Chains A and B, each alone.
Chain A
Amino acid sequence: DVKVTQSSRYLVKRTGEKVFLECVQDMDHENMFWYRQDPGLGLRLIYFSYDVKMKEKGDIPEGYSVSREKKERFSLILESASTNQTSMYLCASSFSQGMGTEAFFGQGTRLTVV
């Protein structure tokens, strides 16, 4: 079974802190994604990576950065956490094989910034 593991299920951080959300996949997938999910807004793409050290901004990259030094690990960084970044964060991965392959999701990290 494909496994996508996010480092924390719940996280509480203070405003201004630098926050790291980690995601690891065990299926040798080329693609990895970070989304945030808020009620009524669906899943909004923050960043997408299609290879090691390669990244592409999604729809809402402001206030976030990412790191992909190894194929299996994709980190989301909140440079200076703010209360409007309180949300559910979901990591996903997939094979690249041209267009459209199934994405597998982690369990999510519910981040609260106080």
Chain B
Amino acid sequence: GQQVMQIPQYQHVQEGEDFTTYCNSSTTLSNIQWYKQRPGGHPVFLIQLVKSGEVKKQKRLTFQFGEAKKNSSLHITATQTTDVGTYFCAPTDSWGKLQFGAGTQVVVTP
């Protein structure tokens, strides 16, 4: 399946700071989805990116798909305690099969 590597694996952030998590693939991706999993919860869909160079924003979250469609990033500005959780990227194939990266676990210090 399509393998993606997420970095960093862990991210400790001071409340109010910005951070970025990255998702990299050795192959060209058709599209990529991002999910968030709160501690003790299940993954919840955030967004899907399809086009080369696409940028989408959700309030303080900015998602980007690379020009070559081999990488993606999630940037969070002014981190809040509600941002705690693990963020996963997941490319899909033509059948809709989703394969997740290992995730970036985010811990926010007040």
Contact = CB atoms under 8 A, between A and B. Distances in A.
Interface in B37-83: 42-45, 48, 50
A94 B8 CA distance: 28
Nearest to B89: A42
A54 to B, nearest CB: 10
Given A59-B1, A100-B31, A102-B48, A90 B42 contact: yes
A98 B94 CA distance: 6
Interface residues of B, number: 27
The majority secondary structure among interface residues of chain B is loop
Contacts of A105: 42-44
A48 B65 CA distance: 26
Interface string B5-47: 0100100000000000000000000110101000000111100
B1 A58 contact: yes
Nearest to A88: B42
Interface of B: 1, 6, 9, 30-31, 33, 35, 42-45, 48, 50, 88, 90, 92-103
6 contacts: A45-B99, A99-B93, A100-B96, A103-B35, A103-B45, A106-B42
Given A31-B97, A92-B98, 11 more contacts: A33-B98, A42-B102, A42-B103, A43-B100, A45-B100, A50-B95, A96-B95, A99-B94, A100-B50, A102-B33, A103-B98
